[in-house]
């Protein structure tokens, strides 16, 4: 028996399908230090696994299911907040960006940049709302494209590089760490739920702020 045969046998013994000659096994162990260490490690693993309790439904499973459902709802809300944020950002930034990257075709009085030829009020305020909303969407598109070019590409590059340099063959550690990790996730969900009055108020404050901005109030419901 060589080391490769031994390792295959050891794996089979862990899988519960071992059919190797015990004498041959012992002779190899007696002559090979590396495989002896391997055998001891496997013995420890068996002992550890035997002492693990069978899986039981986690505490607060029902709450967890409800939390997942709420999380999906929160995701939808988050998307809506993002859309609204884009519009709000549009209001604040559109004018600025337009100034930073000048391509204005607005007629101005020569010699005085601050005075413009103001046509009479002829268009209803709905046009202002529509246009600001449209500008907000345009800004959101621009921001998304810029973000895709930076964060998206970076994430893709880093995840690809990390994946290329790693391998996943050891689930023992993961299985050991899973119960405490699950407890922590549940505690985290409970804390998130506990802080909902604050997060809901933040969303409500944001909605009220947008409602108070006359050009946006009519379009809010359409988001």
Partner 1 sequence: MSCRRSRWFLRAFVAALSLGMIAARASALSPRDELLRFVPEDVGFCLVVQDLRGHFAALQQSPFVQRFRQTPMGAALQSDPAFAKLGEVEKILQQTLGVDPTRLRDDLLGDAIVFAYRPGPAGKMNVEDQELVLVRARDAKLLVEVIEKINQAQKQAGELKNVQEREYAGVRYYQRVEAQKSTFYFVRGPVVAFSSQEAMLRQAIGLEQKSAPEEPPVARRLRQLGVERRLVSLWVNPRPFDGELERKVKAAGAGEAAVLGHMLTWWKALDGIALSLALERDGELSLAVRARTEQLPPAAQRFLAEAAMSSELWSRFPEDALVAGALRIDGAALVATVAEFLPPAARAAAQEALKRGLEAALSGKDFTRDLLPAFGPDIGFCVTAPKADEKAWMPRAVLAMRVQSDAEGHTVEPVLLSALNSLAFLAVVGYNHSHPDVLAFRSEMQGKIEVKYFANDKLFPVGVQPAFAAKEGYLLLASSPEVIRRFGTAASPTRAADGENPLLRVSANAWREFLKQRREPLIALTAERDGASKTEASSRLDRLFAALELIDRIDLVLRPSPGQVVITLRVQTVAPLR
| Given 8, 65, 66, 69, the residue binding partner 1 (CB under 8 A) | 8
Q: Does 187 bind partner 1 (CB under 8 A)?
A: yes
Candidate ranges 20-28, 64-72, 75-83, 105-113; the one touching partner 1 (CB under 8 A): 105-113
Q: With beta carbons less than 8 A apart as the criterion, state whether 139 and 90 touch.
A: yes
According to the binding rule CB under 8 A, does residue 59 interact with partner 1? yes
Please report, for residues 6, 101, 109, 186, the alpha-carbon distance to residue 11 in angstroms, rounded to integers and kept in the order given.
9, 65, 85, 35
Min dist CB 189 to partner 1, Å, is 9
Nearer CB in complex with partner 1: 213/223: 213
Helices (H), 52-171: 61-100, 125-147, 153-164
**Integer CA distances (angstroms), 163 to 25, 156, 160, in order:** 37, 11, 5
75 binds partner 1 (CB under 8 A): no
Residue 16, SS3 per DSSP: coil
Stretch binding partner 1 (CB under 8 A), from 22-30, 65-73, 74-82, 183-191: 183-191
Draw the binding track, 163-182, toward partner 1 (x: CB under 8 A; -: no contact): xxxxx-xx-xx-xxxxxx--
Q: How many positions of this chain bind partner 1 (CB under 8 A)?
A: 103
Say whether residue 185 binds partner 1 (CB under 8 A): no
**Binds partner 1 by CB under 8 A, chosen from 21, 24, 44, 109:** 44
Q: Judged by CB, which is closer to partner 1: 31, or 174?
A: 174
Stretch that binds partner 1, among 7-15, 18-26, 64-72, 73-81 (CB under 8 A): 7-15
Radius of gyration of the chain (CA): 32
* Assigned token pair, 98: 């337009």
Q: What share of the chain is helix, strand, coil (3-state, %, to 5)?
A: 75, 0, 25
Residue 211 binds partner 1 (CB under 8 A): yes
Three-state DSSP at 165 gives coil
Give the span between the Cα atoms of 157 and 150, in whole angstroms: 11
For position 57 contacting partner 1 by CB under 8 A, the verdict is no
């Amino acid at each position: 028996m060589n080391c490769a045969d031994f390792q295959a046998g050891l794996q089979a013994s862990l899988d519960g399908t071992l059919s190797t000659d015990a004498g041959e096994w012992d002779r190899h162990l007696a002559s090979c230090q590396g495989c002896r260490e391997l055998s001891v490690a496997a013995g420890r693993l068996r002992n550890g696994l035997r002492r693990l309790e069978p899986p039981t439904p986690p505490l607060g499973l029902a709450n967890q299911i409800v939390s997942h459902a709420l999380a999906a709802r929160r995701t939808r809300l988050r998307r809506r907040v993002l859309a609204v944020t884009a519009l709000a950002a549009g209001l604040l930034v559109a004018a600025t960006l337009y100034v930073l990257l000048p391509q204005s075709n607005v007629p101005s009085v020569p010699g005085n940049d601050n005075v413009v030829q103001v046509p009479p009020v002829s268009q209803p305020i709905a046009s202002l709302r529509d246009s600001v909303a449209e500008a907000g969407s345009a800004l959101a598109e621009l921001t998304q494209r810029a973000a895709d070019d930076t964060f998206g590409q970076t994430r893709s590059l880093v995840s690809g590089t990390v994946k290329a340099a790693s391998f996943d063959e050891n689930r023992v550690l993961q299985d050991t760490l899973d119960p405490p990790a699950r407890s922590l996730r549940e505690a985290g969900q409970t804390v998130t739920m506990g802080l909902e009055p604050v997060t809901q108020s933040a969303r409500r404050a944001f909605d009220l702020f947008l409602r108070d901005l006359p050009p946006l109030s009519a379009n809010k419901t359409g988001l």
